[in-house]
Amino acid sequence: MEGSQRDAVTVAGIDCGTNSIRLKIARVDADGTHDIVPRMLRVIRLGQDVDKTHRFADEALERADAAVREFADVLAEHPVDGIRFVATSATRDAENREVFESSMERLLGVRPEVIPGSEEAALSFLGATCVAPRHDLAAPYLVVDLGGGSTELVLGGDGVSAPDTQVQAAFSMNIGSVRMTERHLRSDPPTTEEIREAATDIDEHIDEAFQQVPAGKTRTIIGVSGTVTTMTALALGLKEYNHQAVDGVRIPFFQAFDVDNQFLNMTRAERSEYKTIHPGRIDVVGGGALVWNRVLARVSEAAAQDHDEPLDSFVASEHGLLDGIVLDYGRRLLSE
């Protein structure tokens, strides 16, 4: 109402990462977010060869344009109070990102914000921890957002010295499913030496991250992103992907390690037999699984040194960066 604070706003969030681009349109009110249309995901592989060339490939830009044209059509049917378009790892690294940003602005009327890893981590934490109250999870939480080009580790409060929802430490590592596949896992299936080199690379990044994030304090690991949810679905033995079955489920480490290693060592043709895996992830999901394996193992080792209770499982969340973008943006509009 004019002259008084609004009770709700309708907003759109767009999250463009290294491998995929996603759209969420939702109403935001005091109770959180309420989806208006099912979220859309398109695998565009924007980060194709960016690790090597530091530039967006022409065909990757064409895929991005095609996806955003679809988003524009949906937005035309569902008017919103505002759009926030966030771009992450690949765009941070691309020398010709101006071409991408200008094209997105022309198609949508809003320019992508290339956010730093620290903000990406905070928004991922905000989105991911919404599963905590429903599943009675123990804090502190470590949210792991495993993308195509980067992986964020975000540790939240303990509910005593700091609220559960407050970020205490965060670090963005330049490792992800696409980056590790292109950098190391070039054979099909990858060789033992390629896997060893990739694992060494991953561990070096984790060493750096652990200097900033006290991972040993973790009581619950919450994993988000396409790699984590895909591997979770495979660990559950799902024949097709099911969002409801994956969201909030707890998976023991031994089960995760078995499935991750199995699919890491498969050929791409063998992975393509599984409908659970999105076709756009078939060639890189093994690289993502290796990153996920190493993060789980290293956090478990750190936790064993800090407290007596073993950390032997993780919780998968369908909510992450995109949800954080929408919730944060909606709250800011409401406060204005």
Average pLDDT, the chain: 91
2 to 7, 143, 332, 336: CA distances (angstroms): 12, 39, 18, 13
Q: Can you tell me which residue has the tokens 């009110």?
A: 29
pLDDT at 114: 87
Q: Which CATH number fits domain 9-117: 2.60.40.1180, 3.30.1490.20, 2.60.40.420, 3.30.420.40?
A: 3.30.420.40
Q: How far apart are CA 146 and CA 173, in angstroms?
A: 9
Q: How far apart are CA 160 and CA 199, in angstroms?
A: 36
Q: What is the mean pLDDT of residues 282-296?
A: 97
Q: What digits encode the pLDDT tens for the residues 148-184?
A: 989 999 999 776 776 667 889 999 999 999 999 999 9
Fold match between domain 9-117 and domain 118-321: yes
Angle, vertex CA 44, rays to CA 41 and CA 47, nearest 5 = 125
- Residue 22 is classified by DSSP as E
pLDDT at 159: 66
Q: How far apart are CA 52 and CA 239, in angstroms?
A: 36
136 Cβ contact list (under 8 Å, min separation 6): none
If you classify domain 118-321 with CATH, what class do you get? Answer: alpha beta
Helix axes 192-210, 285-306, angle to 10 degrees: 50
By the 10 Å C-beta count (0-12 exposed, 13-18 middle, 19+ buried), 238 is classed as: middle
pLDDT at 92: 80
pLDDT at 213: 95
Q: What are phi and psi of 232, to 5 degrees?
A: -65, -45
Q: Can you tell me which residue has the tokens 């950098």?
A: 183
Query: What global pTM score does this model have?
Result: 0.87
Domain ranges of the chain: 9-117, 118-321
- Residue 18 is classified by DSSP as S
